[in-house]
Amino acid sequence: MSGPRVEGPVVVIGGGPAGMAAARAAARHGVRVLLVDSGAALGGQYHRQNSLAGRDRFALPPGVGHLPHTVVWALEPVPEGGHRVHLHTGPADGPGRTARSVATRALVLATGAYDRALPFPGWDLPGVYTAGAAQALAKGQGVRVGERVLVAGTGPFLLPVAASLTAAGAGVAGVLEAAEPVTAWLRRPADAVAGWRKSGELAGYGALLARHRIPYRRRTAVVAAHGTDRVEAVTTARLTSGWEIVPGSERRVEADAVCVGFGFVPQVETALAAGCALDGGFVAVDAAQATSVPGVFAAGELTGVGGAGPAAAEGEVAGVAAAKLLGARPAPPAAALRRVRAGRGFAAALARAYPVPDGWRTWLADDTLVCRCEEVPYGELRRAVREREALGVRAVKLVSRAGLGQCQGRVCGPNVACLTGLADAAAFARRPIASPVRLGELAEPPADPEPGT
C-alpha cells in the first residue's frame, strides 16, 4: 500500500452490508479498521448466515480487525476531537464480558434497522413474531416458527420472509399486504424504473407464491390474534386506504403463527449518542455520508430504507470518506456515489409506496397492550396522557410507563408517539446506555483499553 501514512483506526459499528463495505473501502486505502458487531458472524440481518453451518461466507481484508459478539454500550465525545467507543465482548447479556474502549477520529455507524410492529389485540401472545424474527430463525437456525403461518404487514420484505418460511418447511397460509402497492408504484413511474432490478426480484417471489399456492392479498391485514397461551387463530380484515377495517370483512383463520412487519425503524441510539441530527427519523448525511457531527459517518438503513445494495454503496462511500479524514488520498468513489444516488430515489419511492397511515389505531381495544414490556394497555396510555397532560416523550414515559421497560421503547416508541401525537418519536431512542449492561460490569475497570495495540 503506497501513499501517505495515515492514523487510525476507523471504527465501524455494524457488520451488515453497509459496515462490511465501509471496512473494506477504508482498508483499501491503507487505514486500520476495527469492525464491531454484536453477531457471531458477519453479514448482518440481510446476509444472515446459518450459525449451525460453521462456515463463514465473508472475509475481510488484512488491516480490518473484526470483533464479533461485541456490543457498543456507550459513546463518549473526546475533548480533543473524535469519540471513545465503549465495548463489551462476550456471550450476550452474560456477566463477565470483556470491557474495552477504543478512541477514534473516524467513526462509521452502520447499525441498521429492525421491523416496525404495530399493536393489535393478541399481539403479545406467543406465536406472534415479527417478520424479521421468522427470517432470522429460518435462515440462521433452520427453525420454522409454525406449521400454518400468516405473513402480514406492508412492504416488499414480506415476500422473502414467506420464501424463507416455505424453505424452512412451514405452510404459509397467506401474505397480507396492507397497502395497494401497484397503484402506488404506478403513480411514480420514474422511481419504479429506478427500482426495476428490485422488481425482477419481486417477480421471482411472485412465482414462488404461485408455485406454493400461497394467496397474496392487498389492502388486508391481521387485526387480532386469538388463543390462551399461544396463537390458535387470527382475524383478518380488508382495510380502507387509511387502514381502517372495512365493516363486515373480518374473517377468522386458523393459524399457529403470524409474522408481522410494517416497514423498518432505524437503530439510531449510537447516532443520537454521538449527537447526529436526524431528518424524518433517519440520520441526516451529506454526499460523503458525513453526519452533522465531524468525524461521524452513517451508512445503510440508518439513512433511509432501500435494501442491501444501496446500503453497501453507502458503506463504501463512508469508508472512503473516513479514510480520507485520517489522511489517505483516495479518488472519489464515482460508481458507488452513483449507486447511492439511485438508491436514495428507490428508498424514497419505497417509503411513498408503503406508508403506514394512522387507521391502525382503530384495530386496538382498550385492553390491547401498547407497551409489551411494561404491559401498558391502550386505554391506560390514553388516560395517563389525558389526565396528566403529558406533552413530551419523557412526560409520556413517566405518566404511562410506556417505553420504560426492558426494550426501552424500541418496540413501542414509534407507536406511542403516533397514538399520543408526539412529534419526536426518535426521542425514545435517546438513551445514555445504548445496550444492556449488568451493574457488576459497570463497576469493573476496562481490561484492555485499546484492542490490537
Partner 1 sequence: MRVDGEELVTEAGRTVAGLLLALGRVSWRTTRGGGRPRGVFCGIGVCHDCLVVVNGAADVRACQRLVRDGDDIRSQDGAELPA
Binding site for partner 1 (CB under 8 A): 38, 40, 45, 50-54, 91-95, 114-115, 117, 124, 126-130, 132-137, 140-143, 145, 229-230, 267, 372-375, 405-407, 410-411, 436, 438
Please say which residue, 128 or 285, places its beta carbon nearer to partner 1. Answer: 128
Q: Taking a C-beta distance cutoff of 8 angstroms, is the pair 128, 260 a contact?
A: yes
- The number of helix segments (H) and strand segments (E) in the chain equals 13, 22
Report CA torsion sign: 4, 10, 15, 19: negative
Please say which residue, 112 or 195, places its beta carbon nearer to partner 1. Answer: 112
Q: Minimum distance between the CB of residue 376 and partner 1, rounded to whole angstroms?
A: 9
> What is the C-alpha separation between 18 and 39, in angstroms, rounded?
15
Please say which residue, 337 or 425, places its beta carbon nearer to partner 1. Answer: 425
Q: Minimum distance between the CB of residue 437 and partner 1, rounded to whole angstroms?
A: 11
Q: Taking a C-beta distance cutoff of 8 angstroms, is the pair 305, 350 a contact?
A: yes
CB atoms within 10 A of CB 229: 8
Q: Minimum distance between the CB of residue 360 and partner 1, rounded to whole angstroms?
A: 18
Q: Minimum distance between the CB of residue 30 and partner 1, rounded to whole angstroms?
A: 34
Q: Minimum distance between the CB of residue 358 and partner 1, rounded to whole angstroms?
A: 23
CB atoms within 10 A of CB 212: 13
**The amino acid at 25:** A
DSSP strand pairing (128-130 vs 33-36): unpaired
Considering only CA atoms, which of 151, 315, 170 is closest in space to residue 221? 151
Which single residue is written with the C-alpha cell 419526536? 424
Bridge partners, 177 (sequence order): 153, 218
Please say which residue, 49 or 235, places its beta carbon nearer to partner 1. Answer: 49
DSSP state of 239: B
Bridge partners, 100 (sequence order): 87, 448
Please say which residue, 1 or 53, places its beta carbon nearer to partner 1. Answer: 53
Please say which residue, 91 or 280, places its beta carbon nearer to partner 1. Answer: 91
**The amino acid at 340:** V
Please say which residue, 51 or 199, places its beta carbon nearer to partner 1. Answer: 51
Q: Minimum distance between the CB of residue 229 and partner 1, rounded to whole angstroms?
A: 5
> What is the C-alpha separation between 369 and 375, in angstroms, rounded?
6
Please say which residue, 288 or 407, places its beta carbon nearer to partner 1. Answer: 407
The three cell numbers of residue 200 are 425482477
